[in-house]
Amino acid sequence: MLTAIIDYESGNLHSAHKAFQRMAREANAGEVIVTTDPDTIARADRIVLPGDGAFPACMAALKGKSGIYDAMIEAVEVKARPFLGICVGMQLMATWGREYEDTRGLDWVGGEVTRITPADPKLKVPHMGWNDLVIDAHHAVFDGIATGDHTYFVHSYHMAVTDPAQRLAHVEYASDVTAVIGRDNMVGMQFHPEKSQTTGLRMISNFLTWQP
């Protein structure tokens, strides 16, 4: 069993790597590696796509490494390997990113990513800190997790999901903010599970043992 965390030079992967390694060890879920190598992605049993920064820059960085991009598409769309997108890695799963400019996403989960614009000026952007999840639909990644559990968010853009059935959890900030999305073998988390203490570690463990 091999889990590949895709490194396309978007942000700090050290803490994600450590968190996934620890939970893989505890769940007996094999090896976790951070990789830039298309062959490793192609043979991985699970794929994790992190992401920090702006949507267009992340999409360009991912597509700029054509070997990585093609290997990821093949693994997720054709071989149906379990996939987890984190933060901007989740947002890239959308149809459109509307940050700075209109950018096509992977279009795995219909929807678009727009700026958080609270009507109340007291609400700050980025949405930064711990917020309590409201679980909208059952999913294996929520095993042992309940509505009211907290995870750590830091983002200024959020995803509106077209098909309500594909929004698996949300939090409240100004209005509903999508927290978890998914369909088939794909799941995405807007928060950082690797920074969300026991709740986040549990969801990482659930992903590593998920059989879609």
Partner 1 sequence: MLKTRIIPCLDVADGRVVKGVNFVGLRDAGDPVDAAIAYDAAGADELCFLDIHATHENRGTMFDMVRRTAEHCYIPLTVGGGVREVADVRALLLAGADKVSFNSAAVANPDVVAQAADQFGSQCIVAAIDAKTVSPGKWEIFTHGGRKPTGIDAVEFAVLMMKKGAGEILLTSMDRDGTKQGFNLPLTRAISDAVSIPVIASGGVGTLDHLVDGVTKGGASAVLAASIFHFGEYTVHEAKQYMAAAGIPMRLT
Positions in the binding site for partner 1 (CB under 8 A): 11-12, 14-15, 18-19, 52-54, 121-132, 149-150, 152-156, 171-173, 192, 194-201
Q: How many other C-beta atoms can be found within 10 angstroms of the C-beta atom of residue 11?
A: 17
Q: How far is the CB of 111 from partner 1 (least distance, A)?
A: 21
Starting at the edge strand that comes first in sequence, how are the strands of the sheet with 96-97 ordered?
A: 103-104, 96-97, 111-115, 157-161
Q: Which residue, among 34, 17, 14, has the nearest Cα to 25 in the 3D structure?
A: 17
Encoding tokens for residue 164? 């309500």
Separation between Cα atoms, residue 35 and residue 192, nearest integer Å: 19
| Nearest residue (CB) to partner 1, 45 versus 52 | 52
Helix crossing, 66-73 with 55-64: angle to 10°? 90
Q: How far is the CB of 90 from partner 1 (least distance, A)?
A: 14
DSSP H or E run through 42: helix 38-43
| Nearest residue (CB) to partner 1, 3 versus 196 | 196
Q: How far is the CB of 58 from partner 1 (least distance, A)?
A: 9
Q: How many other C-beta atoms can be found within 10 angstroms of the C-beta atom of residue 97?
A: 24
Q: How far is the CB of 78 from partner 1 (least distance, A)?
A: 31
| Nearest residue (CB) to partner 1, 71 versus 86 | 86
Would you please indicate which residues are annotated as catalytic (active-site) residues?
Answer: 87, 192, 194
| Nearest residue (CB) to partner 1, 2 versus 173 | 173
Phi/psi class of residue 107: alpha, beta or left (left: φ > 0; alpha: ψ in -120 to 50)? left
Contact (Cβ atoms closer than 8 angstroms) between residue 171 and residue 116? no
Q: How far is the CB of 134 from partner 1 (least distance, A)?
A: 10
